[in-house]
Structure 1
């Protein structure tokens, strides 16, 4: 197993750091299901932006498949949009740390059911959003999420995820925080690696039982075989409101 080069990483904490400056965007993430698989850091290292390494806990890193409802994306200080800014989303993400020790996430793919936000995110931030036919609904204590890509020229990658929500996690573990309390994105913009900070309240986490996970999004994101077995962690949250700051080059901080 190849360990990342040593960096002095910021502490893993459930409390967000102060968002620098005014927010750029606001939104809420609702009815979020977190599925995670442990992997060798060497497997994901080639998939990360330049200057970013896999973030590691207990010698491994994780691949996440996260399904939720995006609610009312807005540009500060305007209110969030009720239709164009509200839609199901499912993303495949990795866990990253830069040379300054800032922990974050790297998105390998993001499925969304609204074409306009997909096009805007691709154009403005070069994030790998994909237009998909999606659903997200609740039946009692069960939450179900479906997705199938609908863009011409792309394989029809799809996912079906179902969970039964259990009791509140009263004392989240270090791993629970590592997988959910992430305060920035790392991505490439204009040929440079940047970090984009976010802030939100502590995730209210619940244990969850996996009912179904039939998907090929993880493999399509460049990680074949990772999700062939059951996930190592299954969590649920009713959600949080989120604010995003401006992206900044990692090399300037």
Structure 2
């Protein structure tokens, strides 16, 4: 019997957890795509995952709280962070259904350094903010001037001095989303789009898989109030936010555990 997405997420971790997070106030926005259009954007050894007849790209936004690296207690420096991502749903030849992050924008500098050095996940230095009032969730992320990765922290301050001296102003890619959470959505499509077994990432010369585990998610439908920005332009996906999402969901919270999976290719 083919395991369901819920079964995949609940599978025991094959290795000791690398990080554990409380994952709160999550917004999932996904768009249908032709698989061929996304294929050049995923790492070797993976391909866009076809769900309900389409490949899918998305924006997700969430707050990580109580971050810890076992066996140590929660870290003050890594403890809470807001993240805004652009992602593609993927699958590899071993049948692992994951997600590829084209970018994870956050203002948490230690997380940026650790993710690049240890995980191969493309974190980016940004002003990322989250706000929740009742069922209204709002996220906004504006990149610091500079490029991807921890070096952007240094470049940002240098470029700020340059612009004061009359130099060129680099783009500051941004994204914003505001939604109103509604009723529970337990459809198979909602589960497949949000319950991924791990992360496919490019690390040095290899494609690797990081296993992700959590309890079954209680997802809610959502109504879009605002969506915009040019963040997808920075990762080779222009126009992603120009139309209404084909799926829009909210997750109030869960606990997520990440562990080493294995080399894909």
TM over 0.5: yes
- In 2: Cα distance, 1:133 partner to 1:113 partner: 5
Q: Which moved more, 1:56-65 or 1:144-153?
A: 144-153
Q: Secondary structure at the match of 1:176?
A: helix
Deviation per CA, 1:129-173, whole angstroms, max 9, x where unpaired?
11111211112321111110014356311111101111222xx22
- In 2: Cα distance, 1:155 partner to 1:121 partner: 24
Q: Which of the residues 6, 9, 13 maps onto 1:14?
A: 6
1:237-248 matched pairs, under 5 angstroms: 237-248=251-262
- The answer for unaligned runs of 5 or more in structure 2 is 148-169
How many residues are matched?
241
Matched, 1:211 2:203: no
Aligned-pair distance for 1:48? 0.8
Q: Which moved more, 1:218-227 or 1:229-238?
A: 218-227
- In 1: Cα distance, 2:48 partner to 2:61 partner: 22
Q: Which residue in 2 is equivalent to 1:65?
A: 59
Aligned-pair distance for 1:77? 1.3
Aligned-pair distance for 1:73? 2.0
1:1-253 matched pairs, under 5 angstroms: 11-15=3-7, 16-152=10-146, 155-169=171-185, 172-251=186-265
Q: Could you say if the C-alpha distance between residues 11 and 217 of structure 1 is closer, same or farther in structure 2, counting changes exceeding 3 Å?
A: farther
- In 2: Cα distance, 1:75 partner to 1:193 partner: 23
Deviation per CA, 1:49-90, whole angstroms, max 9, x where unpaired?
111111102321111100110112211111222443211101
TM-score normalised by length of structure 1: 0.90
Does the 8 Å contact 1:85/1:117 carry over to 2? no
TM-score normalised by length of structure 2: 0.86
Q: Secondary structure at the match of 1:80?
A: coil
Deviation per CA, 1:161-201, whole angstroms, max 9, x where unpaired?
101111222xx222111111101111121311111101111
- In 1: Cα distance, 2:120 partner to 2:94 partner: 23
- In 1: Cα distance, 2:60 partner to 2:116 partner: 19
Does the 8 Å contact 1:72/1:83 carry over to 2? no
Does the 8 Å contact 2:227/2:241 carry over to 1? no
Does the 8 Å contact 1:24/1:246 carry over to 2? yes
- The answer for unaligned runs of 5 or more in structure 1 is 1-9
Deviation per CA, 1:65-121, whole angstroms, max 9, x where unpaired?
001101122111112224432111011111111111111100100001111211221
Q: Secondary structure at the match of 1:246?
A: strand
- In 2: Cα distance, 1:121 partner to 1:249 partner: 17
- In 2: Cα distance, 1:204 partner to 1:142 partner: 17
Rg comparison, structure with higher value: 2
